[in-house]
């Protein structure tokens, strides 16, 4: 097995946890807006934004999962290209998490949601 460092594995699992938490927050925000204000011209952009956020968050979750498994299967070491792809995915995921967190916070503020 091409062994990933404990720090890298911890980073992957932490990012996956954060992605799941954000998916939950985006869906909860979407639900709260829909329940309190309905679907109309004013709410539709925000509802769609939450849906897009969920879809954007699913991709890196799956990518991190797949890369970690594939790297673990390589003997004796994983190709540099795959390790570089994992590093890029981690960086992109961290940036995406920050962007989606800001989007959810802004949406909640716009609609006076807790």
Ordered per-residue pLDDT tens for the chain, 114 residues: 468 899 999 999 999 999 999 999 999 999 999 999 999 999 999 999 999 999 999 999 999 999 999 999 988 888 999 999 999 999 999 999 999 999 999 999 999 999
Query: What is residue 99's three-state secondary structure?
Result: helix
What angle (nearest 5°) sits at the alpha carbon of residue 60, between those of residues 98 and 49? 55
Distance CA 104, CA 98 (A): 10
Residues in Cβ contact with 10 at an 8 Å cutoff, skipping those fewer than 6 apart: none
* Cβ-based neighbour number of residue 89 at 10 Å: 19
């Amino acid at each position: 097995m091409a062994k990933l460092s404990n720090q890298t594995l911890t980073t992957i699992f932490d990012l996956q946890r954060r992605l799941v938490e954000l998916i939950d927050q985006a869906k909860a925000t979407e639900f709260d807006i829909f329940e309190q204000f309905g679907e109309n011209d004013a709410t539709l952009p925000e509802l769609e934004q939450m849906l897009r956020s969920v879809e954007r968050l699913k991709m890196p979750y799956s990518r991190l999962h797949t890369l970690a498994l594939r790297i673990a299967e390589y003997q004796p070491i994983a190709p540099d290209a795959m390790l570089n792809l994992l590093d890029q995915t981690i960086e992109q995921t961290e940036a995406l998490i920050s962007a989606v967190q800001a989007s959810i916070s802004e949406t909640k503020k716009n609609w006076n949601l807790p």
